[in-house]
Chain A
Amino acid sequence: METILAQIVTGLSIASILLLVALGLAIIYGTTGVINLAHGEFVMIGAYTAWALQTYVGIGLIESLVVIFFTVALFGWIIEKVVIRHLYRRPLDTILATWGIGVMAQQAIRLAVGGELRYVEMPSAMSSSVSILGLEISAFRLFILALSALIFGFTWYLMYRTSLGMKLRAITQDREIASCFGIKSKRIYSLTFAYGAGLAGLAGALVSPLKSVSPEMGTTYVVDAFMVVVLGGVQSLVGTVASSAILGELTGFLAFYSNDTMAKVLVFCAIVVLIRFRPQGLFAAKVRT
């Protein structure tokens, strides 16, 4: 019983990291239809920003989260202005362009700070474990869990309770009609892209104390993020949460009862089977295309 409980918590922890990484991608993909292969590099840049702030400026992780969000959001905003906005009606070209941006970002980081593995210090208050219901749980993982719930809540509020969100949903449903009603779709797109990039940056900063920071780290996260988005359905925030939870728990349990190699194989197989029979994902929103 205790191990099962521990495993459920572990699954939630994996799910919270998946959600953090995938949320930004889901918003960008869902709204603008851009398949952003540079998403992993946004995560990586967030991790490096955290590392740089800690090493050169001496600010801890928690204090620097806001700075990291705006730094990576700014980076995303520039990318959107310079490259992406010219390609909105050419989905295949965006794949190539964002992939190229990703490669450039990796090599730029490598040239600027070297290829060595880096790490970000865990906030000292959370560097040990806490006891809950007889379970030893890493305090930092709980923090990630809470923060990802908070970020999701904020994003949901932004989308469904603000005028910005309403405009955004209008564009998602039909860009031309929305423009006819005076919504500046270009501006909304830029802001969405920047927001998604900022979320990815936060994700990178938050996982950096648990994992290693390297120029190539983004490639694994972008795969995870696409898995979540594909399973959950493209335009659905709830779908993103649900599919993060499903994938997190599934990976956790399979890894526990067999091993991580098997878990990876089985999860991929399950997703392939699922999109064969339900290509729109589990929670597809109805959209006019």
Chain B
Amino acid sequence: MKLGRRTFIKGTVAAGAVTAAGFPHIWIKDSSLAYAASGEIKVGVLFSLTGTTAIVEESLHKATILAIEEINAAGGINGMQIKPIVEDPASDPATFAEKARKLVLGDKCVSVFGSYTSASRKAVLPVFEKRKNLYFYPTLYEGRECSKNVIYTGAVPNQQQDEFVPWLIEKFGKRWYLIGSNYIYPKEENNYCKKLLAEAGAEVVHEEYVPLGHSEFSSVINKFRSEKPDVIFSTVVGDSVVALHRQYRAAGLDPEKMPMASLTTSENEVAAMGGDAAAGHFTSAPYFMVHESPENQKFVEAYRSRWGGDKVTHFVSEPSYFQVHLFKQAVEKLSAGDISPKTIVEAIKGEEMIAPQGRVRIEPENLHAYLWPKIGQSQSDGQFKVLKTTSEWLKPEPYKAYQNQVCTEAGLKEI
């Protein structure tokens, strides 16, 4: 048969017309069913397993996988199994974006769980916003973000500080020394802290930022000595936390007179510096490993029997775990043909569950989570002692430091 150019074009156009006009219903149905094809729901798991932040992200990966395995073992979501597609973005923001694109476009995942650092979240954000997909982000962070394609299950500044700062002022005093690593997160946290301090009539005696990865704190410690602050408010991150605590202790400073109050020191960091160096200092977080609840007991036991008896759970691995269960609850409400990132966002708004830390809920306006901040004091055995828990869950307010902005369902609004 000879196929002329003209007949070929005619035929193609005709076939196209039939597809477009004749079977539109089947076409649409097929494309949405792709998210739950062959009885499987594909999700992406995007935590670094190599590179500088792999140390922490590996624990987030493990908590996520544990939750997925639990759900699958209990029969999946409406009979469908969750299939995790694991990628390793190697602690590099550009690789994060590339792998996110692969998970969303190539693998057609309906949602992705991932990221520890803000830099990596910012890198993948355009992918999820452009492709109308959904990202679950478990880390406490600096707030000031209002994406409609991200579910934020970690704490924002108001949740970590609203109870913590007044409590510290009352217990220790009004002269505060703010120290952080030199990047966006500590600056935003300190911004909010200064607002709370001003409201309480307390003063900032010194504010400074050290380079990321900095490990020589002797001059800083001399400043502690000469300023004699009542509270050292620390948002130093990574291996700098370890160096700061160890040198503070070697210098013979006393946590009872001049405690460090941190938003970033978890069981993970304490394990890296040794319980003795951390003992006596304070941390505010929605979750501590020692928190007493049946849900947490179950979580810790499951985590240790799956990944090893010496492993610790902490305030970023816990949200990594419960956000998968929240995802399950949202998808459960949908019929197989309706499952898509867009319908999941709608279904997860206002969704509640009892997480290891307590009952959590996704706020429909800004897609952040209601959480239960606690104040913990580090003990020499490497665990925390919970001194205070909020009387009620705290609403997430990612723009609380900025009075003229608010995150609504329609997006960011200027007032």
- Asked if A117 and B272 sit within 8 Å, CB to CB, the answer is yes
In whole Å, how far is B190's beta carbon from the nearest beta carbon of chain A?
Answer: 14
- Asked if B223 and A211 sit within 8 Å, CB to CB, the answer is no
Tally of contacts, chain A with chain B, CB under 8 A: 104
A136 lies within 8 A of chain B by Cβ: yes
Segment of A36-44, A65-73, A159-167, A212-220 in the binding face: A212-220
Per the CB 8 Å criterion, the residue count for chain A at the interface is 40
Chain B proximity mask over A3-43: 1 for CB below 8 Å, otherwise 0 = 10011001001100100000000000000000000000000
Majority DSSP secondary structure for residues of B touching A:
helix
A210 lies within 8 A of chain B by Cβ: yes
> If the complex has contacts A211-B246, A212-B242, are A119 and B272 also in contact, measured as CB distance less than 8 A?
yes
Chain A proximity mask over B244-257: 1 for CB below 8 Å, otherwise 0 = 00110111100000
B129 lies within 8 A of chain A by Cβ: no
What CA separation (Å) do A60 and B55 show in the bound complex? 26
A179 lies within 8 A of chain B by Cβ: no
Name the B residues within 8 Å of A3 (CB-CB).
222, 225-226
What CA separation (Å) do A119 and B241 show in the bound complex? 12
In the complex, which of the residues A116, A121, A128, A255 contacts B220, with contact meaning CB atoms closer than 8 Å? A255
Name the A residues within 8 Å of B211 (CB-CB).
260-261, 264
Name the A residues within 8 Å of B243 (CB-CB).
210-212
What CA separation (Å) do A217 and B211 show in the bound complex? 15
Name the B residues within 8 Å of A211 (CB-CB).
215-216, 239, 242-243, 246
What CA separation (Å) do A215 and B273 show in the bound complex? 16
- Asked if B272 and A116 sit within 8 Å, CB to CB, the answer is yes
- Asked if A212 and B209 sit within 8 Å, CB to CB, the answer is no
What CA separation (Å) do A18 and B55 show in the bound complex? 28
In the complex, which of the residues B208, B213, B274, B277 contacts A220, with contact meaning CB atoms closer than 8 Å? B213
In the complex, which of the residues A14, A209, A217, A256 contacts B216, with contact meaning CB atoms closer than 8 Å? A14
**Which residues in chain B, 370-403, are within 8 Å of chain A measured between CB atoms?**
none
| A-B complex: 9 closest residue pairs judged by Cβ atoms | A129-B252, A117-B272, A255-B219, A212-B242, A212-B239, A138-B250, A259-B208, A211-B215, A260-B210
Given A129-B252, A138-B252, A212-B246, 12 new contacts (CB under 8 A): A3-B225, A117-B272, A141-B250, A209-B246, A210-B250, A211-B216, A211-B246, A212-B242, A220-B213, A255-B219, A256-B219, A260-B219
